[in-house]
Amino acid sequence: MKRLLSSLSYQSLRDGALYRLTGIFIVAMAVFGIVIGIASDETPCAGRLIADAPSVLWLFQYMIIAIIVGTLSAGDFKDKDLYYEIMSGHSRVDIFLSRAIPSTVLSALLAAFLSAVPVISNCIVFGWGDVIEVKGAVIRIALCFFPFLRLASFYTLTAFLSKNRMVVTALGYMAMICCIFLQNVITGSQSTFLLSSFNLQKLMDYGTWSIYNLDPAGGIVMYTAYDSSISKSMAAGTIMISVLVSAVYLLAGYGFFCKNDLD
């Protein structure tokens, strides 16, 4: 499997498209974080970005995960590279793992990193502020890796079912658009962690309470406080369910790949 991984890495390096696309996404997310701060009605800071626009930290990653998984997992079906690898004596489990593991893990890691990019750029320009504690925010963003891993595993299953990277990319675009239109449903949902979109929203949903005060000049003034701590049950549920569902998706994808004739 090491030779297959080396071949896949070399092919990706020669192509260069994924690296250029990754750079574009990083720059776009960084600029987006700064623009949101500039457009804020209140004093801009990274903590306020997280509190007021949590979907910015996870919504657009649906596309980049789909593109990476589609390219690495389904890109070789069209030119019959998988067929030649089998004819060369490589086992199907090695061929599957050499594509499924790098595509799911790397895309999930990149997605989690992209979640932090707008926060970092906003913090560099405007500072962190005192809206949300740093530790809680860092833990929540880091935990986003696991729902992203689950999403990437589902895209991997789709890649081996469709054998077409454009289908996976289209699915990622449709999922992102659906999440945009269903923001109110997702935000108000009290469902389980089974869907990555609900899980991501739960991780980015900070508990709030309001404090009212009387100001001689401004009258009644409302102050909003945020709770950035995360419960052990939410952290454990995110990790365990994501790993379990990811394993189910990958096993299903491998099962289909073993029965497929690659025509």
Domain hosting 129: range is 2-259
SS3 of residue 226 by DSSP: strand
Q: CA-to-CA distance for 48 and 67, rounded, in angstroms?
A: 30
Give the pLDDT of residue 144: 93
Cβ-proximal residues to 18 (8 Å cutoff; 6+ apart), any chain: 12, 67, 68, 71
**Lookup: tokens for 131:** 């809206």
Q: How many domains does the chain have?
A: 1
Q: CA-to-CA distance for 187 and 249, rounded, in angstroms?
A: 26
SS3 of residue 73 by DSSP: helix
* Number of C-beta neighbours around residue 232 at 10 A: 7
Question: Closest Cα partner for 47 from 31, 62, 33, 27?
Answer: 33
Q: What is the pTM of this model?
A: 0.85
pLDDT tens for residues 213-225? 666 665 666 566 6
DSSP 44: -
Residues in the chain: 263
Rounded to 5 degrees, what angle do the CA atoms 31, 180, 129 make?
Answer: 45
Low-confidence ranges of the chain (pLDDT < 50): 10, 13, 188-190
Q: CA-to-CA distance for 15 and 76, rounded, in angstroms?
A: 13
Give the pLDDT of residue 10: 45
pLDDT tens for residues 88-141? 767 778 888 888 888 899 999 999 999 999 999 999 999 998 888 888 889 999
Give the pLDDT of residue 216: 64
